[in-house]
Structure 1
Amino acid sequence: MTTNTATPRRLLRREARATRRGPAIALAVVMTLVLVLLLVGVVAWILDDGFRRQAAAWFAPVAAVVQTPPALIAFGVVLLLLALLLVALVVLPGRRARRTRLDTRAALVIDDGVLADAIADGVARRIGVPRGQVSVTVARRAALIRVTPTSGVPVDAAAAEEAAAQVLDEVGFRLSPRVQVAREGVIA
Structure 2
Amino acid sequence: MTVDTVTTRRLLRREARATRRGPAIALAVVLTAILLALLAGTVASAADAGLRTQITAWFAPVVAVVQTPSGLIAIGIVLLVLALLLVALAVLPGRRARRTRLHTRAALVVDDGVLADAIADGVARRIGVPRGQVGVTVARRAALIRITPTSGVPVDAAAAEEAAARVLDEAGFRLSPRVQVAREGVIA
| TM more than 0.5 | yes
Q: Residue 30 of structure 1 aligns with which residue?
A: 30
- SS of match in other structure, 2:88: helix
Q: How does 1:164-179 map to 2 (within 5 A)?
A: 164-179=164-179
Q: 1:75 aligned to 2:75? A: yes
Q: Is the CA contact (8 Å cut-off) linking 1:146 and 1:180 kept in structure 2?
A: yes
Q: How does 1:49-128 map to 2 (within 5 A)?
A: 49-128=49-128
Q: Residue 144 of structure 1 aligns with which residue?
A: 144
Task: Report how far residue 130 of structure 1 moved.
Answer: 1.5
- Separation in structure 2 between the aligned mates of residue 158 and residue 187 of structure 1, nearest angstrom: 23
Change (3 A) 1:160 1:112: same
**Identical columns (%):** 83
Normalised to the residue count of structure 1, the TM-score between the two structures is: 0.88
- SS of match in other structure, 1:152: coil
> How many residues are matched?
188
Q: Is the CA contact (8 Å cut-off) linking 1:20 and 1:91 kept in structure 2?
A: no
Q: Is the CA contact (8 Å cut-off) linking 1:98 and 1:111 kept in structure 2?
A: yes
- SS of match in other structure, 1:180: strand
After superposing the two structures, state which structure 1 stretch, 74-83 or 178-187, moved more: 74-83
- Separation in structure 1 between the aligned mates of residue 27 and residue 103 of structure 2, nearest angstrom: 39
State the Cα RMSD in Å.
Answer: 2.1
- Separation in structure 2 between the aligned mates of residue 44 and residue 91 of structure 1, nearest angstrom: 40
Question: Structure 1, residues 28-79: CA drift from partner, whole Å, max 9, x if none?
Answer: 2321332233344345556643233212211122223334333332222222
- Separation in structure 2 between the aligned mates of residue 86 and residue 179 of structure 1, nearest angstrom: 38
Normalised to the residue count of structure 2, the TM-score between the two structures is: 0.88
Which amino acid is 2:109 matched to?
A: V
Q: Is the CA contact (8 Å cut-off) linking 1:100 and 1:108 kept in structure 2?
A: yes
Q: Residue 10 of structure 2 aligns with which residue?
A: 10
